[in-house]
Amino acid sequence: MTESSIITLDEESLQNNVAFLKKKIGKHVIISAVVKANAYGHGIEQIVPLFEKHGINHYSVFSYKEAIRVYNSLPAPHPIMIMGWISDEDMIDTIKKGIEFFIFNTERLQVALSYAKSLNTKANIHLEAETGMNRSGLNMNELNQAISLIKDNEDYINIAGFCTHLAGAESISNHSRIQKQLKRYQQMLTVLKKNDINPQYRHVANSAASFVYPKARMDMVRIGIMLYGFWSSTEVFIQYINNRANKKDPLDRILSWKSQIMSIKEVKCGEFVSYGLSYLAQTNIKTALIPIGYASGYNRSLSNKGIILIQDQICNVIGSVNMNMIIADVSNIPDAKVGDEVVIIGKQNGLEIKVSAFSDISDQLNYEVLAHLSESIKRTVAKKQ
């Protein structure tokens, strides 16, 4: 291994997840693969061609910059939808390239219209409704203003979608709130239709909502975390398997993260390890230095808590996580040596360290752990055999 660490994506696992989700969601509902945050840490440039290869043909991102990365990664043009940030300067290129984007206030709609007119073309927009999350979206008054603008400028606007975001479909505690959101969405959709505005796609559901609220699937679902092999929450997984004879998780993790030992050191009883005084050797120990740290995405909250795999054994991370290095206790591996494989996420023979192992001991969400994986780490694809 020439790199300090490598992330590997398993194509067969990805294919399994796509096939499972397509079967469960149904052939009449489009899956938009959410690839924001560098495809949840998996790497946009690596994952998008794989999704494309295995039948995904719609992509959702947060920003213009991410949209361009997807645009450049696709072997053939497919719809790309920006759910968040576009600067006014980037709006003209967004419209030129036919990239779709959310309209969450009337100011953005006016900017989009001005550029669409200057290009003498249509902007592909998704009207985002504020239904109760109170984050982004048009309230009823703003929706009526948007309708007036659209009707006055029909030659420059294509209504690709009407959408909202549900506030926590992964938890039963939010059930009442989400039901109110769905009702509000339908009321606003009725207003659109009364004004002869018929969006191409109605979409409100993310991964969790697609399973917990099947009626929320509508024309399109925005699936992120489940495509990568993770359930939105334990609640969603339990609800899915509850009445099934087969309790096996149907999703496969795509990502593994590996490094290697760069140095071995003997530490005497009574000496401290790493910065500060957080770890005191209680006996003579042997340590391994591994070239990853919080700059790579290995959170400092894993100091004295993290675990890794070396030579088919679980080893504890000791001392503070450094910017570029961690230290592990390898006292139980007498022949541990420089160059030995270190598994940070993934499998080593019969053992596995899951992303949930990070969240269980550091209060990080699965999403957070994945999103923090540095883009500087090399990503490779393990091709399907």
CA distance 179 to 187: 13
323 is in an annotated binding site: yes
| 225, 310, 350 from 222: Cα distances, Å | 10, 38, 34
Neighbouring CB atoms inside 10 A of 363's CB total 10
CA distance 288 to 286: 7
Q: Which of 36, 115, 228, 294 is catalytic?
A: 36
User: For the chain, where are the E strands, in sequence order?
Assistant: 5-10, 30-34, 59-61, 80-82, 100-103, 123-128, 157-163, 201-203, 220-223, 255-260, 263-267, 285-290, 307-310, 313-318, 326-329, 341-348, 351-353, 378-382
CA distance 102 to 81: 8
Backbone dihedral region of 30: left (phi > 0), alpha (psi from -120 to 50 degrees) or beta? beta
Q: Is 24 a catalytic residue?
A: no
Q: Is 367 a catalytic residue?
A: no
Q: Which of 180, 275, 347, 384 is catalytic?
A: 275
CA distance 84 to 250: 31
Q: Which DSSP category does 156 fall into?
A: G
Query: Residue positions in the annotated binding site?
Result: 135, 323
Residue numbers annotated as active site:
36, 275
Query: Residue positions in the annotated binding site for substrate?
Result: 135, 323
